[in-house]
Structures are given as structure tokens and as C-alpha cells.
Amino acid sequence: MTLQIKSLEEYNKEYTKSVENPEAFWAEQAETFTWKKKWDKVVNWDFREPNVNWFVGGKLNITENCLDRHLEERGDQAAIVWEPNDPNAPTKTYTYKELHAEVCKAANGLKSLGVVKGDRICFYMPMVPELAIGVLACARIGAIHSVVFAGFSAQALADRVNDATCKMVICSDYNNRGAKNIPVKKVVDDAMALGCPSIETVLVHKNTGGSVKWSEGLDKWWHDTIDHQSTECEAEEMDSEDMLFILYTSGSTGKPKGVVHTCGGYMVYTTFSFNNVFQYQAGDVYWCTADIGWITGHSYIVYGPLAAGATTVMFEGVPTYPDAGRFWQVCEKLKVNQFYTAPTAIRALMAKGDQFVEGYDLSSLKILGSVGEPINEEAWHWYDKKIGKGNCPIVDTWWQTETGGILITPLPNITDTKPCHASYPMPGVQPVLLDSDGNLVEGNDVEGLLAVKYPWPSMIRTTYGDHERCKNTYFSMFENMYFTGDGARRDKEGRYRIIGRVDDVINVSGHRMGTAEVENAINEHKNVVESAVVGYPHDIKGQGIYAYVIANQEVTDVDAFRKEIVAVVRKEIGPIAKPDMIQVVSGLPKTRSGKIMRRILRKVASSDVSNLGDTSTLLNPEVVQEIIDNALV
């Protein structure tokens, strides 16, 4: 197993070593894994291209590290504990032996359908064990998975399938989500109808057993394909830098981009970070409530915990079903030791009242985690007091889809914790703050743009099919730096506090969204001429979506118009992108060069209009007063 830091002194020592001699530091971590062939060089990198290679020349299969290597020592230990949506349905456990067998069967099944190394396979599935099994089956045979969160629309699914020219979609028939039964296969059918020419097979897992429309030739059942397969499947030899997966995420411009992660570095970093951030001990039960449709689920439900030989919980349901005590009921039932969730969930549960926590025995909890957005002070204290009973350090983990793993975080019981502070960099991570000209902002008690000046093993390698875009988005802003898109403060003691995005990306309930993407969706409405979307502070969601819309005719029924716009956004992207506020305006504040002055729109949406800054360069200053007068907040 990788190093597990145990004291502040050791953290300081290892951090220094990781900066002074990164190659030696990472070689030591990498040596703890099973390699088919050892690497020739630890890292080669050039951020200008960008070209980053870790464990160069090394050969491995990540599933041998997540499964095979545990069989002897902990084959009968639970690998995945699956908790269903229905609290009265039985919990299902897969031991490492069982998971190994299921993954091999699925891998053989995929092979029988013609899937080979390098093929892209899309997953559009709820949180059922077959999602984890399927993802690992791809990794077993060298197929590249692209998991699309099952809340996205048919259009969004089709866009992602086509961008990666996927050969197959793997889905469920229906999804249990709270009291709802959601037709998942129907969305895939609709995506196919929109046109997905690269798809040869839709592999359907029977989850709830509801009726589905069937396309002979295209559709195949998971059970017909996989159930009879052999429980042994040799793991494909992968190069360290072969692609492991693609995961789409939103940026400030254009369509979502496919972030590419590769095998060797991703394995080493997710395992190392899991092992240290959660201080996992043999026998612990670890639960991350994320969905595998997001990076948190990839790195800290599936790969990191399994490579570390942990017991990882996978939850099908939602925090508020059958009531707002569900998380705590599951913590008690499964005796969860490490619990990792998002601030939006904490705020939503906090708002429901303490009576949903009281009565549950949470004494198994040792460490609490937070991820995805800044955690506000009130939520932090509630989490600390009501859930952790003041005994569980909170790790406020900062990272991104692009970073693959946690980069800035407290280490529990090792470094101190402070509300709202992600605190200190992990060993091997070298963050810097920059001013807008790219000058280093040095010292403490300062603020700047957050960048990283040295590569770490699980960093983004490219954006699928468009390397230029990767370069422009992350590596062109500042020379020789990875730019995160976030602003941050460094406090007097050197702790980092993430302030939030400095670009046109918003974070709604921990879901990352490009404002341009939402605008493009809104503009699909036949009566919308133009729109501008900004984020605004929202008590539960962190940020809400505020849309300013210009219509091509007088709007007589504003409510109906709003409903139609919401429906268009649901269709183009999915319910997670639907605007909370829609204000119909006669114009948008624009500079003489035609750029929308979003600063003003953000201020209006945050009801902070006392100082709008310089509006003299506006082409149409008169529109500002109209927007303020009709603001919805």
C-alpha cells in the first residue's frame, strides 16, 4: 500500500521531499502497485504542449490493482456494499472475489459483442452495482469508458456519444430515484433517434423490469450477454499513458469537453490520495455519496477505494427519501467510518431540521468529507456538531474533474481544520497564486488566481479529440502553469481558501455548468432572440441560475413563457440546468464591441446594485435601469 502519513511532522517531511525530488517520491508510491512492466522514467512533461507522461513505459492494468491483487489477502472482505433506494430492500454486498468474478464476466460479455481495446463505451446508468462492474470491465479489456450522468437529456447524451464516437451505450431499463421510477432506456432510445451513427449496440441492464421498446439487432440484454460468461478474463496490458476514461465537463465556452485520464498516473494518485485523505484502516466502511456520473464517483467510489482494498459503499437513492434522515440511517446501519458528501446536500438536510439526525447512532463515524463547492461556515459547523458530534475532522477537499484527484485538503487528525478552508496541498502538489498578469503572488494573507506549477500523476492529459482546446483552456493563460479557473486566498498560516470560479462556469448544487451552454439551450426557444445566464447566491444550491432573456415579440403570459424556456433547457441539457429565475428584458448591457457586461448582470442577480462600477462604456446604458427595476430578487 502507498504511504499513509501519520503526523504533521511526517506531512512536512514528505511534502518537502515531494517538491525537492518528485520523481523519487512518486516512484516510491508507484512501487506499491502491481505492474506488468515497470516504468523507465517517472515523469516527462512540458506544459506548453501540453505533454505530460507519468511512469513512462510502464505497463499495467488498473483492475489487477483494484481486484486481483486483493484476492489472496482480502478476497472475502466486502469490496462494494450496495444500498438500494428502497430502505426496505436488502443491502447487497460484493466481496473482492465476487466483484472480480462479476467484472471478468462482464469483460467477457463485452468482448463477445466485439468490444476491443481502445473502443469507447458510454454508460448511462443509475447507481446500480452493474455500473461499477461495467466500468471496471471496460478497464479490464482496455476499452475507454465515458460515463454520462443519468440526469442528462437525450440530446446531451447524444452529443457526448457522438463526440467520443462510442461503439456502445450501456444503460438500465428504469431507475429508482426516491419515489420516482425513471425510464432510462427511453432516454437512450430518444438519443439514438437523434442520430448516434457510431453506436453498434445498446446493452440494457434489467433493473426494475418495466417494459421497454426493443430494437432488434441494436438492443441486447445485459443478462443474456453476461450471465453465462466465464469468471476469468485476462487483464489487457495497458501502457501507463493509454486512456482509461473520458468524462465530460463544462467550461466557460462551447460544448462540454471530454476530459481524458490515463491508466498509470490516475491509479497511483487516486489510491495515494484516498489512503491519506480518508486515513482508511483495514475493516473500515467508507461511503462517498456522489454519483459515478461525476469524477468524485470515479476516483473515490470506484478506483481509489478499490485499489486501496477498501470497503466502499454505493448508494442508489437520494438524501431525502423516504425522509431527510436517510443518510444517517444508512450510516448507522452500515456502521460507516468515513462519510464524504457535498455541501449542497448538507445545506438541504440542515434546512429540514435536526429531528432527522437525532435518534440515529452515528458513533461509527471518524472522518467527514466535503467536496464540489465551497462549504459555508454555517453548514460546516452543523456538519461538525450534528453529524460529527465535534469528534470527526472535516476534510474540505478541493479538486476538479481535470485534476483527477484531491489536490488541496486537510489531512484528518494531522493538519488542523478551519471552516471554509481546503487548507493544504497534498504531497506532490505545488499550487501557486497569480495576479492577472501572471505574476506570482507570494507570501501569506494574499489572494489570487489558483494555478499549479508542477505536474501531478492524475492530471488531465488532453480533451478528447481536441488537444488545442486543452492547451487553450488550461495551459495558455499563464506560461508553464496549469490554470484551475478558481480564485483563492492564502491565509496567514498558509491555508488555501477557495473563493470560486473566475470564469463563466457556475456551480449549481455541486454540478458544474457553463453559462454559455445554458444560454445556447435557452436560445433554442423559437421566441428567444438572445439570453445571458449568470449564477447568483442560493441558500441550498450554492449558486442558482439566473437567466435574462430577450424575446422576439411582446410576452403577454410571462409564466407560460418561463415554463416553455425551462422545458427547452430540460430537453437540451437536463433538469439540472434549468434556470431558477427568468427575467424578460428589452436588451442586455453591452460594450461597444458587443460583449455582454456580465458583471452588471451578476450584481443585479445578487441584489447588489449599490455599486455597478463603470457603465460609461456601455452601448445602451439605459437598459441597466430597466433591468434593475424589474429584477426578480
CB of 113 to ligand WT7, least distance (A): 31
3-state secondary structure 294-318: CHHHHHHHHHHHHHCCCEEEEECCC
Is residue 535 a contact residue for ligand WT7 (CB under 6 A)? no
Q: Find the part of the chain contacting ligand WT7 (CB under 6 A) among 112-120, 176-184, 280-288, 368-376.
A: 368-376
Residue 132 or 506 having the CB closest to ligand WT7: 506
Q: Find the part of the chain contacting ligand WT7 (CB under 6 A) among 154-162, 316-324, 396-404, 433-441.
A: 396-404
Angle between helices 154-163 and 558-572 (to 10 degrees): 30
Extract the runs of DSSP E, i.e. beta strands, from 222-298.
238-239, 243-249, 257-262, 285-288
Residue 384 or 486 having the CB closest to ligand WT7: 486
Site string for ligand WT7, 203-242 (x = CB under 6 A): ----------------------------------------
Q: Which residues have a Cβ under 8 Å from the Cβ of 512 and sit 6 or more positions away?
A: 249, 250, 401, 505, 506
Measuring CA to CA, which residue among 517, 525, 520 is closest to residue 568?
525
Is residue 251 a contact residue for ligand WT7 (CB under 6 A)? no
Is residue 404 a contact residue for ligand WT7 (CB under 6 A)? no
Chosen residue from 102, 189, 396, 580 binding ligand WT7 by CB under 6 A: 396
**What is the distance between the alpha carbons of residues 329 and 337, in angstroms, rounded to a whole number?**
13
Site string for ligand WT7, 510-529 (x = CB under 6 A): --x-----------------
Q: Find the part of the chain contacting ligand WT7 (CB under 6 A) among 30-38, 306-314, 366-374, 565-573.
A: 366-374
Give the footprint of ligand WT7 on residues 471-500 (CB under 6 A): 484-486, 498, 500
CB of 384 to ligand WT7, least distance (A): 15
Residue 109 or 343 having the CB closest to ligand WT7: 343
Is residue 175 a contact residue for ligand WT7 (CB under 6 A)? no
Is residue 398 a contact residue for ligand WT7 (CB under 6 A)? yes
CA atoms within 13 A on the CB side of 608: 9
Residue 271 or 507 having the CB closest to ligand WT7: 507
3-state secondary structure 56-80: ECCEECHHHHHCHHHHHHHCCCEEE
CB of 473 to ligand WT7, least distance (A): 12
Chosen residue from 29, 155, 225, 397 binding ligand WT7 by CB under 6 A: 397
Is residue 372 a contact residue for ligand WT7 (CB under 6 A)? yes
Q: Which residues have a Cβ under 8 Å from the Cβ of 54 and sit 6 or more positions away?
A: 26, 42, 43, 240, 241, 262, 264, 265, 268, 455, 457
Measuring CA to CA, which residue among 299, 293, 331 is closest to residue 313?
331
Residue 201 or 509 having the CB closest to ligand WT7: 509
Is residue 501 a contact residue for ligand WT7 (CB under 6 A)? yes
Residue 251 or 589 having the CB closest to ligand WT7: 251
CB of 80 to ligand WT7, least distance (A): 20
Q: Which grid coordinates are listed for 539?
A: 441558500
CB of 106 to ligand WT7, least distance (A): 26
Q: Which residues of 353-364 are buried (b: 16+ CB within 10 A; e: fewer)?
A: eeebbeebebee
Q: Which grid coordinates are listed for 301?
A: 467510489
Q: Find the part of the chain contacting ligand WT7 (CB under 6 A) among 215-223, 365-373, 437-445, 625-633.
A: 365-373
Cis peptide before 393 (omega within 30 of 0): no
CA atoms within 13 A on the CB side of 424: 20
509: left (phi over 0), alpha (psi -120 to 50) or beta: left
Neighbours of 133 (CB within 10 A): 23
Q: How far apart are the first and last CA of the chain?
A: 53
Give the footprint of ligand WT7 on residues 275-314 (CB under 6 A): 295-296
Chosen residue from 373, 384, 572, 580 binding ligand WT7 by CB under 6 A: 373
CA dihedral 124, 126, 128, 133 (to 10 degrees): 20
Give the footprint of ligand WT7 on residues 109-128 (CB under 6 A): none
**β-pair partners for 550:** 530, 585
Residue 626 DSSP SS3: helix
Residue 25 or 464 having the CB closest to ligand WT7: 464
Q: Which residues bind ligand WT7 (CB under 6 A)?
A: 249, 295-296, 371-374, 396-401, 422, 484-486, 498, 500-501, 507, 512
